[in-house]
Structure 1
Amino acid sequence: MNLVIVESPAKAKTINKYLGSSYEVLASFGHVRDLPAKNGSVDPDANFQMIWEIDPKAAGRLNDIAKALKGADKLILATDPDREGEAISWHVLEVLKQKRALKDQKVERVVFNAITKQSVTEAMQHPREIDGALVDAYMARRALDYLVGFTLSPVLWRKLPGARSAGRVQSVALRLVCDREMEIEKFVAREYWSLIATLTTPRGDAFEARLVGADGKKIQRLDIGTGAEAEDFKQAIETANFNVSSVEAKPARRNPYAPFTTSTLQQEASRKLGFAPAHTMRIAQRLYEGIDIGGETTGLITYMRTDGVQIDPSAITQARKVIAEDYGSAYVPDSPRQYQAKAKNAQEAHEAIRPTDLSRRPSEVNKRLDSDQARLYELIWVRTVASQMESAEMERTTVDIEAKAGSRVLELRATGQVVKFDGFLAAYQEGRDDDSEDEDSRRLPAMSENEALKREALAVTQHFTEPPPRFSEASLVKRMEELGIGRPSTYASILQVLKDRGYVKLEKKRLHGEDKGRVVIAFLESFFARYVEYDFTAALEEKLDRISNNEISWQQVLRDFWTDFIGAVNDIKELRVAQVLDVLDEMLGPHIYAPREDGGDPRQCPSCGTGRLNLKAGKFGAFVGCSNYPECRHTRPLAADGGGADADRVLGLDPDTGFEVAVKSGRFGPYIQLGDAKDYAEGEKPKRAGIPKGTSPSDVELDVALRLLALPREVGKHPETGEPIKAGIGRFGPYVQHEKTYASLEAGDDVHNIGLNRAVTLIAEKIAKGPSKRRFGADPGKPLGDHPSLGPVAVKAGRYGAYVTAGGVNATIPNDKTQDTITLPEAIALIDERAAKGGGAKAKKKAPAKKAAAKSDAKPAKKAAAKKPKAEGAAASPARAPVKAKTSTTKPKAAAAKPKSPAKKSAAKNG
């Protein structure tokens, strides 16, 4: 028997069917180990030795794999064909070695680009060893992200209270958004005028021509800057005689677009389908893992994390056949088209994203998919087919017109384009980031030189230049790829982190830099400028690529980075918070202090009139306050036009009940309410709905509120039990529920639109992972590390929200932080602040001790003596033993595995 390891249970089930009874396929459920979220997990002084810790959720699955391995002849690691997939295989292998589960079994690594029977079977026939260079590149990237996060975030936290953590790549992406905000604020509109004449030929055909020159000088778009200049040209045109001076028609060709990469798929799905990158990747994952077709689960697309644009020759042949059948032989080029990736390195060096079988046309497959899956599959299918179609043939025409008005000679120009043969455009045309039309897309009437023209109308229009547009998710992904920031497979998570941290918000499909994000970027640009430079980040990505090509040592890359980085961190440690705020106050001045209408000092306090406004830092972030504090307590949000949460406002009437629908503010945040107490029977409370995390109350309108009030909704009936599956929003976020099983929605899932297939998958995965620990006792929480004096720190989900705890001191996590992203330094700061205010179990125990001391001196001494052994016993109690045991288990073995390159060592042993 052969044991095969993949990531997901869906893949395991499908691949097991393909391989038959002589194989057992188990899922690792993604990564099984990671760096513990505490200081010391990467040690720069020990050649960047890394301590790996087994994920508690993965421990049981690894035990199952180890048991299954006992009766196996061969271990086949078949995780995804990218760096992350290579790393998962390496982690699984290292854990099995630590458990001494490997005996004489042969270890093989196989990769397949599509989950089809043919691809999987062929992969099994071509095994290889684990690629040590890919694992090295993974470790270097993981260590870099860890070192930046655990070194820079505490500095950010101490010097800028209320700020969130800073990531290596996320910070650079955030800078793009914030720099654009700065450009918009500094932008000064410029007036300009355009003159467009409507002319007709002797045959009566009308067209438009723009003024482009006068008296031998060219007129550019912004050259006519005043109404007086425009009026002067208008008078001349109105008295002019028009003749065609030249007609130039040039043939042109437009070639089709390359097949999708991860980046271009995210961009196009955002533009054409309105999908967030995270949503696109989640749907693509489902299409890759497969759906049931004819009783067999089959992958519909190839692997969706790729930089490659080439496709398999057999797929090209199939595409040419489909084109001939669906569009005609004229649309099939003489020879197949070959594409070359622009990226210097193909991190995922395999095919572009394409359908696994192009004969599965969207119209045939769509009935087996939910709406979003069907739309994305069709987009991928059409793009792939179009990439192998004939070029579009155009004719671009430029007509120059001479207008004589007395002694003045003006020049007008008309442009147009005619499609002679549509070619690939018959199937596909790429979307645009804006709503503008191609100015050359107009068709011009037939004209000849020296032909007289007649003016029918003249449009003289005033314009003002506009600031550069804010990034959409698609245009930000495109810009990051152009700059070489990050990797396409990480773009979706980068954008999600920025939104989750409240650094940016998505409004009308555009990314707006939030105040807290702008403060963080101002801090980084002021004190860590090098590390948020686009060129520096791109150069670091190139070094990581060179590691994966086995060209340089991963430790050397880390060493070069760390030497300068830790020096910059040490330089700022001596700065006081006030000094940091002064620098940020100056840098963010144009954003914080808008010019006053009366021309007065924008920093003058509006309350006392004598104080000066300046930047201050509080528990929940930066704000603007008066220099005369505490005599003057004037404060306001960071932005000059910043308002409140726009809560307690009526949105409209519910069409079913006629009750008012309103946004209200409550003890635990804003919410939506239907009607008032007077609208309900005695003792009955008004219906309420929470506002989803990441949604601003000011963005909630009536239609959104009604959809939230309609939750939970029934998604459909479970295909096996016939019982309903419901979707709703609970205290832990959006979920789907079937009988007693609740499964949280993942990033990109929409509680209002989630389909039955997706809901069934989430329920099945939740059941496969086993019951929640909360069902059998108190939530143990997620360990973060150790407090300097209070012991282990954990983050837990409480009745009234998430909180952190250590040594009996509980501290609520502020609204601008999340249970999943809060770091150890942030948690320690919250716990210390809570303890200083007298919070926690320890503070409560002190009062009885004082009371007892007042009664007698001897009695408390006896009590204290009696309690002392108990306290010592508690310190060594079994509650903390598992943590110590786990650390001691992983640390020495991880250290022993890395004298040089762990990946290379494991690959050598398996050779």
Structure 2
Amino acid sequence: MNLVIVESPAKAKTINKYLGKDFQVLASYGHVRDLPAKDGSVDPDQDFSMTWEVDGKAGKRLADIAAAAKTSDRVILATDPDREGEAISWHVLEVLNAKRVLKGKPVQRVVFNAITKQAVLDAMAKPRDIDEPLVAAYLARRALDYLVGFTLSPVLWRKLPGARSAGRVQSVALRLVCARENEIETFKSQEYWQILARLATPAGDEFEARLTEWEGRKVGRLDVKDEASASAIRRFLEGAAFAVEQVESKPQRRNPSAPFTTSTLQMEASRKHGFSAQRTMQIAQRLYEGVDVGGGETVGLITYMRTDGVQIAPEAIAATRAVITREYGERYLPEKPRHYSTKAKNAQEAHEAIRPTDLGRLPRAVAPFLEDEQAKLYELIWKRTVASQMESAEFERTTADIAATKDGARAGLRATGSVVRFDGFLTLYQEGRDDEEDEDGGRLPRMARGDALARRSIAATQHFTEPPPRYTEATLVKKMEELGIGRPSTYASTLATLRDRDYVAVDKKRLIPSDKGRIVTAFLESFFDRYVEYDFTAGLEEDLDRISAGELEWREVLRRFWDEFNKRIADVKELRVAQVLDALNDGLAAHVFPARADGSDPRSCPTCGTGRLSLKLGKFGAFIGCSNYPECRYTRQLGTGSGDDQAEGIGGDGTKVLGTDPKTGLEVSLRSGRFGPYVQLGEGDKPKRSSLPKGWTVDQIDLAKALTLLELPRQVGAHPETGKPIEANIGRYGPYVAHDGVYANLDSVDEVFTVGLNRAVAVLAEKKEKGGRGRSTPAALKTLGEHPVAGGEITVRDGRYGPYVAWGKVYATLPKGSDPQAVTVEQAVALLTEKAGKAPVAKAKPTAKKAAAKTADDAEKKPAKAKAKTAAKAEAADGEAPAAAAKKPARAKAAAKTAAEDAAPAKPRARKAS
């Protein structure tokens, strides 16, 4: 028997069918080991030795894999064909060696670029060893991300209460978003005027021409700066004679774009369908792992979706050309196949581009078997692949230069037009655009040199330059790729982290940095500028690529990074809060202290008049306060204007009336509360309220939006199988749908108000497939029988923190490494008895007066007490945080968990999908 180990159960089931009875295919469910979320998991003092810990849920799966390996003749590691997949195979092999179950059995590595029978059989015929340089690159990346997360994040918690974390790539991506916002805020609009003449040929055909020359000088788009200049030119043209000076027509060709890579697929799916990068990868994963498209057999519809390559296999090119001939005709087929290439940086780029596994599966044929989003993404991939092998589009671009003369003076105008002579690949596919671009007009009327032209009208219109647009996910991915920051396979998780940490919000697909995100960026730019530089981060990525190519030793890269980084951490730890605030006040001055209309000092206190406004750090994050505190108690939230102590548009009493609810007749108001703005229906003891969700700002809230919030939870419909209702709502952890105790996250807040029944059923089903149980009790893995003394059933269950035994309301976690299936009733009773005997000791809470007395500086003055703590707790409960934080180790643990999540591999969770 041959044991094959893949990542997902869906893939395991399909591949087992292809390989037959001599093979057993088991799934690892993604990563099986990770670095523990605590200090010391990577030890620079021991040459960056790494301590690995088996995930709680992975323990049973590894036990099953080890048992199967023990009785198998050969072990085949068939995880995904990229750096993370190679790492998973390496981890599995390390565990099997530690369990001593291999005993000299051959272990081979194979990769499937597509989940089709032919691709699987071809891969099985070409086994290889584990790619050690690729594993080394994974270890280097993992160690770097861990060291940054677990070293830099505690400094953030200490100096910036409310900040969640910092990451090696995440922080640089956030800097890009914040830098664009700074550009927008400091942008100075410039007035300019556009001069257009509407003219007619001798045959009476009309067209438009724009001014290009005036008083012997060329005129650019912004060169006519005021109304006086524009009026003078208009008066001249209104009395001038027009004639054609020159007409030139040139043929042009536009070639199709290459097939999709990971990043280009994410960009195009965002532009055309509004999918987030994370959602695109989730849908693509399902298409790759397999769908039943009729006949009862599951087959992968696309090739592997994490790739930097743009080339496709020769047989796929031949199949594509056959489809073009059959569906569009010989005219659309180029004489020779098109070949695309990219400058390979690592082994991952040797993979094919993302393409359909069978080009003969037309989108319209497979659409009935797919969910709506899957059908859209498959059609996008199919069209892009086929278009990449089609004939070029042919255009004719015509330019007409026109002279306007009057009393010996002259002005120049130009008209342009573009005509499609042959649509070529455009008949099937045209790439989306990130922003509106000027396009040439249509066909110009026929005209010849010397033709006199009749004037129909002259228009001079005023315009103002606009600031650069905010990034969308698509344009941010494009920018990161241009700068060499991160790698395409990590973009989705990086963007998701920025949203999850509340560092950015998404409004109409645009990324808007939160105040928290801007403060973190300002802090890093002030004290860790080298580590958020674009070139530095790109240079590290190049080093990682060189490691994967076997050109660099991975520990040497870590040494170079750590020596300087650790010194900088030590220096910043010594900074006082006042020094940090001074730097933030300067770095964020334009944002937190905007210019006032009356020209007065933006930092003077509007209440006492003598105090200076400054950033302050509190329990719930940063705010603006007066230097004369406590005599002057003026405060305001960030981003709420220059002088008002309430959010913009909200009155001095914290209330703004939005209108009346047509159903109840009650007043709907927008209010400012302790935890931020919210909307309220009516008055009374318990009026209905709803906080503004992430990404919604007070200036965007009108009556309609307020009513949609107040109507939550929204009834989506009845589940077609159970008949029970499905609700959409916004909770503590974001937007979700709920049905019969199962809760499944939605991609965005907006989807709460638009999600339909089909989509809701699909995400709930997907959550169940992933093992999601909502808030219901986990199903029993094993029943041990009645408690021998007190009675009552004892069961073994798998929980969020690993397997445990349950008896009534007593739950006892199993020791690490225990096999839940091997637990005996005697062992369970011993664990439960020990657990039941440990009653929590109540602790007296400090009075509010005493807690308030422990200020940030008081805590900093107690180094002896800090030394008694472990390093991690000392960082989390340092003096700059509120005193209450020092008394709550749970908060420090939660913060450590946040750092661990940011330092985690790019894709472990996504890999567990399906």
Pair in the same fold by TM > 0.5: yes
Partner of 1:364: 365
Moved more, 603-612 or 65-74: 65-74
Q: 1:95 to 1:746 in 2, by over 3 A?
A: farther
Partner of 2:55: 55
Partner of 1:711: 714
- Structure 2: distance between partners of 1:393 and 1:806: 80
Does residue 253 (structure 1) correspond to residue 279 (structure 2)? The answer is no
Q: Contact 2:668 / 2:706 at 8 angstroms: preserved in 1?
A: no
- Determine helix, strand or coil for the equivalent of 2:175: helix
Which residue identity lines up with residue 773 of structure 1 in the other structure? G
Partner of 2:830: none
Partner of 2:314: 313
Partner of 1:443: 443
- Structure 2: distance between partners of 1:780 and 1:686: 42
Does residue 756 (structure 1) correspond to residue 761 (structure 2)? The answer is yes
Deviation at 1:687, TM superposition (A): 7.7
Partner of 2:277: 277
Moved more, 15-24 or 826-835: 826-835
- Structure 2: distance between partners of 1:664 and 1:446: 63
Partner of 2:165: 165
Q: Contact 1:201 / 1:454 at 8 angstroms: preserved in 2?
A: yes
Partner of 1:794: none
Q: Contact 1:279 / 1:748 at 8 angstroms: preserved in 2?
A: no
Which residue identity lines up with residue 11 of structure 2 in the other structure? K
Partner of 1:379: 380
Deviation at 1:147, TM superposition (A): 0.7
Q: 1:810 to 1:543 in 2, by over 3 A?
A: farther
Which residue identity lines up with residue 520 of structure 2 in the other structure? V
Deviation at 1:162, TM superposition (A): 2.4
Partner of 2:422: 421
Q: Contact 2:57 / 2:798 at 8 angstroms: preserved in 1?
A: no
Partner of 2:93: 93
The residue correspondences of 1:109-120 to structure 2 (distance < 5 A) are 109-120=109-120
Partner of 2:799: 773
Which residue identity lines up with residue 540 of structure 2 in the other structure? L
- Structure 2: distance between partners of 1:651 and 1:25: 60
Question: CA deviation digits over 1:450-475, x for unaligned, max 9?
Answer: 11001101110111111111111111
Q: Contact 1:688 / 1:709 at 8 angstroms: preserved in 2?
A: no
Q: 1:582 to 1:351 in 2, by over 3 A?
A: same
Deviation at 1:160, TM superposition (A): 2.3
Q: Contact 1:308 / 1:346 at 8 angstroms: preserved in 2?
A: no
- Structure 1: distance between partners of 2:341 and 2:842: 58
Partner of 1:399: 400
Q: 1:705 to 1:484 in 2, by over 3 A?
A: farther
- Structure 1: distance between partners of 2:214 and 2:100: 86
Question: CA deviation digits over 1:245-280, x for unaligned, max 9?
Answer: 000101110000111111111111111111111111
Deviation at 1:442, TM superposition (A): 2.4
Question: CA deviation digits over 1:312-363, x for unaligned, max 9?
Answer: 1111111111111111110000011001125644534301111111111111
The residue correspondences of 1:562-601 to structure 2 (distance < 5 A) are 562-601=562-601
TM-score, length-normalised on structure 2?
A: 0.81
Which residue identity lines up with residue 399 of structure 1 in the other structure? A
Deviation at 1:549, TM superposition (A): 0.4
Q: 1:441 to 1:108 in 2, by over 3 A?
A: farther
- Structure 2: distance between partners of 1:640 and 1:757: 40
Question: CA deviation digits over 1:133-187, x for unaligned, max 9?
Answer: 1111011001101111111111222222322211110111111111111111221
Deviation at 1:12, TM superposition (A): 1.5
Which residue identity lines up with residue 632 of structure 1 in the other structure? C
Deviation at 1:8, TM superposition (A): 1.4
- Structure 1: distance between partners of 2:841 and 2:873: 11
Deviation at 1:191, TM superposition (A): 1.3
Q: Contact 1:4 / 1:77 at 8 angstroms: preserved in 2?
A: yes
TM-score, length-normalised on structure 1?
A: 0.81
- Structure 1: distance between partners of 2:889 and 2:77: 48
Q: Contact 2:160 / 2:880 at 8 angstroms: preserved in 1?
A: no
Which residue identity lines up with residue 516 of structure 1 in the other structure? K
Moved more, 634-643 or 691-700: 691-700
Q: Contact 1:808 / 1:840 at 8 angstroms: preserved in 2?
A: no
Partner of 2:342: 341
Partner of 2:527: 527
- Structure 1: distance between partners of 2:812 and 2:635: 40
Q: 1:518 to 1:596 in 2, by over 3 A?
A: same
Which residue identity lines up with residue 424 of structure 1 in the other structure? F
- Structure 2: distance between partners of 1:78 and 1:470: 42
Q: 1:704 to 1:423 in 2, by over 3 A?
A: farther
The residue correspondences of 1:830-869 to structure 2 (distance < 5 A) are none
Q: 1:827 to 1:101 in 2, by over 3 A?
A: farther
- Structure 1: distance between partners of 2:15 and 2:656: 54
- Structure 1: distance between partners of 2:732 and 2:613: 39
Deviation at 1:638, TM superposition (A): 2.6
The residue correspondences of 1:29-428 to structure 2 (distance < 5 A) are 29-294=29-294, 295-342=296-343, 344-345=345-346, 347-428=348-429
Question: CA deviation digits over 1:718-774, x for unaligned, max 9?
Answer: 4xxx6658454466655566656x254376795624353443232133179966537
- Determine helix, strand or coil for the equivalent of 2:244: strand
Q: Contact 2:317 / 2:337 at 8 angstroms: preserved in 1?
A: yes
Question: CA deviation digits over 1:421-465, x for unaligned, max 9?
Answer: 000010111111123441x14221111001100110111011111
The runs of 5 or more residues in structure 1 that have no matched partner are 679-684, 784-804, 812-822, 842-911
- Structure 2: distance between partners of 1:756 and 1:141: 38
Percent identical residues: 60
Deviation at 1:83, TM superposition (A): 0.5
Q: 1:547 to 1:358 in 2, by over 3 A?
A: same
Deviation at 1:34, TM superposition (A): 0.9
- Structure 1: distance between partners of 2:519 and 2:889: 32
Q: 1:667 to 1:610 in 2, by over 3 A?
A: closer
- Determine helix, strand or coil for the equivalent of 1:351: coil
Q: 1:490 to 1:838 in 2, by over 3 A?
A: closer
- Structure 2: distance between partners of 1:85 and 1:147: 22
Question: CA deviation digits over 1:820-865, x for unaligned, max 9?
Answer: xxx9777656999576787799xxxxxxxxxxxxxxxxxxxxxxxx
Partner of 1:877: none
- Determine helix, strand or coil for the equivalent of 1:381: helix
Moved more, 690-699 or 394-403: 690-699
- Determine helix, strand or coil for the equivalent of 2:113: coil
